[in-house]
A and B are shown apart, each in its own frame.
Chain A
Amino acid sequence: MGRMLRAFYGRKIALLGLFVIVLLVLSAVFAPLLVTFDPIEMNPAEKLASPNGKHWMGTDNFGRDIFSRVVYGARTSLVGSAGVVLFSLVLGVLIGVSSGYFKRVEPYLMRLIDVLMAFPSLLMALVLVSILGRGMVNVIIAVGITYLTRTTRIVYGLTLKLREEPYIEAAVSSGVKQRWIILRHILPNMMSPIIVQATFTFAFSLLDMASLDFLGLGIPPSVPSWGNMLSEGRMYLTRAPWLLLFPGACIVLTVLSFNLAGDVLRDQLDPHFRRDIEGV
Chain B
Amino acid sequence: MFSYLVRRIASMIPSLLLTSIIVFSFIHLIPGDPARVMLGDQATPEQVEYLRESMGLNRPLYIQYFKWLGGILRGDFGSSIFFHQPVLSVIADRAETSVFIALISIVLIILIGIPIGILSAIRYNSFLDQFFSGVSMFFASIPTFWLGLNLMLLFSVILKIFPSSGFPSILKSGNWENLRYLILPCITLAIPNSALIIRLTRSSMLDVSNADYVKTARAKGLSEMRVNIRHIFRNALVAVTSALGFTFIGLVSKTVVTETVFSLPGIGRLIVESILRRDYPTIQGIILIVAFIYMVINLIVDLSYALLDPRIRYS
Contact = CB atoms under 8 A, between A and B. Distances in A.
Interface string A166-199: 0000000000000000000000000000000000
Interface stretch (B18-26, B44-52, B179-187, B299-307): B18-26
B253 A130 contact: no
A251 B138 CA distance: 11
B264 to A, nearest CB: 14
- Dominant SS at the B interface? helix
Contact of B290 (A120, A216, A256): A120
Q: Which of B149, B250, B294 has the most CB of A within 10 A?
A: B149
Given A122-B257, A126-B272, A114 B15 contact: yes
Interface in B131-146: 134, 137-138, 140-146
Given A119-B291, A123-B252, A123-B271, A216 B276 contact: yes
A254 B121 CA distance: 28
Contacts of B143: 207, 210-211, 214, 227, 230, 248, 251-252
A118 B294 CA distance: 6
Nearest to A212: B257
A115 B152 contact: no
A252 B26 contact: no
Contacts of B142: 251-252, 255
Nearest to B277: A130
B287 interface: yes
Interface stretch (A42-50, A78-86, A94-102, A236-244): A236-244
A241 B153 contact: yes
Nearest to B152: A237
A260 interface: yes
A259 interface: yes
A247 B7 CA distance: 51
A200 to B, nearest CB: 10
Given A211-B144, A238-B157, A111 B18 contact: yes
Interface bin, chain B: 35 or more
B253 A259 contact: no
B145 A119 contact: no
B128 interface: no
B87 interface: no
B253 A122 contact: yes
Contacts of B14: 111
Contacts of B253: 120-123, 211
A29 interface: no
B9 interface: no
Contacts of A260: 137
Contacts of A5: none
Interface in B248-305: 249-250, 252-254, 256-257, 260, 271-272, 275-276, 278, 283, 286-287, 290-291, 294-295
Interface of A: 13, 111-112, 114-123, 126-127, 130-131, 203, 207, 210-211, 214-217, 227, 230, 234, 237-238, 241, 244, 248, 251-252, 255-256, 259-260, 263, 278
5 contacts: A119-B287, A211-B144, A241-B153, A252-B138, A255-B142
Closest 8 CB pairs of A and B: A122-B253, A255-B141, A120-B252, A256-B141, A248-B146, A120-B253, A118-B291, A118-B294
